A = this chain, B = another copy of it.
Amino acid sequence: MSSAADLAFASTPDTDERLNARLFDRYRNTLDVPVAWNETLDTLIAHRSVRAYLPQALPVGTVELLVAAAQSAASSSNLQPWSVVAVEDPARKARLASLAGDQKQIHQAPLFLLWLVDLNRLDRIGEALATPADGLRYLESFLLGAVDTSLAAQSAVVALESIGLGSCYIGAIRNKPAEVAAELNLPPNVFALFGLTVGYPDPGRPASVKPRLPQEAVLFRETYGADDNAHHVAAYDRRLRSFQREQAMVERDWSEQASQRVRGAHLALSGRHELRDILHGLGFGLE
């Protein structure tokens, strides 16, 4: 399970070589970026989702540190339209897991953070000041909340990785938003956008860096231009297959896997085709 980067770490003292090795792991191809390595870049580019945790307790103050990192991310007009619930009670984690595809890492991680789009706080402030917060009724406000919540959570993820912890986003918490809202006692206009499991990675079951699409497929200059899209996707399918072989995973084209994932049926099965109606039920206007 050792990666190209880990080998490079052992064999070369040159930190720029380390960055190149990290980039090779990410793309399964060389990417020449003449920038000096630093610890933060290393943390970012070596990111992996961790789904196997040790039972070890987290350091005292971890939650507060992650929330400080999260609150330090940008916020549109400084509206700060999010909150977070830190769940550590095993029984509550188990109930939340059963609402989110029963993923084992929710049971296993000592900490499960629920990241909430929270328009309720602004709504109540508006009430208190007799300034009705009608702007919150629009899809734009929900979207702004989702963006800010995501920026915040991602800064928390980088922070936790910098102190040796691992995490995994749990989008499946959106399978049953009303039930999740009831479990967490959410007021109106608050929505659990995603969960995040947090813990010490189990070194016996290490996670791997997932290769991504070639930059040519996602990065454009001046205007959008994706004429060579099929070519880049085919290259990625091949590179991901070589990764899957290494990992002793079933070999499968990414393009086939992704297209199956966005067929109507899967969304319908996991309940998320009803999201718009459920959000209305939770109080969001989405006008």
Contact = CB atoms under 8 A, between A and B. Distances in A.
A72 B220 contact: no
A24 to B, nearest CB: 11
Contacts of A34: 59-61
Interface string A235-273: 000000000000000000011111111111111000011
- Range class of the A interface residue count: 35 or more
A88 interface: yes
A45 B69 CA distance: 5
Contacts of A61: 32-35
Contacts of A178: none
26 contacts: A31-B68, A33-B61, A40-B162, A41-B162, A44-B158, A45-B68, A45-B69, A64-B219, A67-B215, A67-B218, A74-B168, A75-B212, A77-B258, A88-B221, A92-B222, A125-B255, A129-B259, A133-B262, A137-B264, A138-B273, A138-B276, A140-B275, A143-B275, A146-B146, A150-B151, A184-B223
